[in-house]
């Protein structure tokens, strides 16, 4: 079930980026899921291409205030998923799309950053995407890896956070900055506390680490 949701969620992220990124094409998007060499794929490729085009048109119309109703967008997404992943549970992914559509500002993270902008997203949303440069934040003990691993030696927790870290470090095409510091912000108490750098930064990573003193020339 979790693997199914992960695949569907990744598909949703890619579809939303396709909608707002003028450099991406439906043709290349469909090529990731179907082989045009097979004659048996031709009919479904035509159908799903039309569905995706309609989805992107309606989503843009919705974000621009032309389309007011989200039901048709939701139904198009469900139909697209039924072709791409016909045997997978997708309820949670559909709920995620509804959540995004209920507040248009939430869709902003899927609009490509301009040359003078930085695009912010969590590691879950970054799955399956690539960027020229990545700044990988919050590499602290109790964050990556999590509390459960450090205190209770929970191996599942360790594996989950290690997988997330892997997602972070494999998103960059040209360069990645792995960020930690001596203090971190604790949300539940609304304050800064002393921080330990993540154990993921130990070992082979240490020769590449640089300290910043907070001053600029």
Q: Distance between CA 124 and CA 9 in Å, rounded? A: 9
User: Tell me: the pLDDT tens digits for 85-121?
Assistant: 988 877 888 999 999 999 888 888 788 777 777 878 8
User: Which has the closest alpha carbon to 16: 106, 79, 122, 131?
Assistant: 106
Q: Could you give the percent of the chain with pLDDT greater than 90? A: 29
- DSSP for 193-216? EE--B-GGGSGGGGGG-----S--
* Other C-beta atoms lying within 10 Å of the C-beta of residue 15: 21
Global confidence as pTM: 0.60
Q: Distance between CA 52 and CA 29 in Å, rounded? A: 9
Q: Distance between CA 141 and CA 180 in Å, rounded? A: 10
Is a pLDDT exceeding 80 seen at residue 216?
Answer: no
Q: Between these two residues, 207 and 184, which has the higher pLDDT value?
A: 184
Q: Distance between CA 142 and CA 146 in Å, rounded? A: 4
Give CA angle at 202 (199, 208), nearest 5°: 135
pLDDT of residue 30: 94
Q: What is the dihedral of CA 129, 131, 74, 86, to 10 degrees?
A: -20
Q: Where are the domains of the chain?
A: 2-110, 123-208
For 123-208, give the CATH class.
alpha beta
């Amino acid at each position: 079930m979790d693997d199914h949701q992960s695949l569907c969620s990744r598909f949703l992220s890619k579809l939303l980026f396709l909608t707002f990124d003028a450099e991406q094409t439906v043709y290349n998007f469909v090529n990731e899921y179907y082989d045009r060499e097979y004659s048996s794929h031709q009919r479904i490729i035509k159908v799903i291409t039309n569905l995706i085009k309609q989805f992107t048109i309606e989503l843009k119309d919705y974000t621009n205030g032309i389309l007011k109703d989200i039901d048709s967008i939701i139904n198009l997404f469900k139909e697209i998923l039924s072709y791409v992943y016909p045997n997978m549970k997708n309820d949670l992914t559909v709920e995620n799309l509804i959540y995004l559509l209920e507040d248009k500002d939430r869709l902003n993270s899927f609009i490509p950053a301009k040359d003078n902008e930085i695009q912010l997203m969590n590691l879950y949303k970054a799955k399956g995407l690539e960027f020229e440069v990545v700044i990988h934040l919050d590499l602290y003990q109790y964050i990556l890896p999590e509390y459960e691993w450090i205190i209770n030696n929970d191996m599942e927790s360790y594996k989950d956070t290690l997988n997330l870290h892997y997602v972070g470090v494999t998103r960059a095409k040209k360069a990645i900055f792995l960020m930690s510091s001596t203090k971190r912000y604790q949300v539940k108490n609304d304050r800064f506390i002393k921080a330990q750098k993540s154990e993921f930064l130990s070992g082979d990573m240490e020769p590449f680490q640089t300290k910043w003193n907070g001053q600029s020339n």
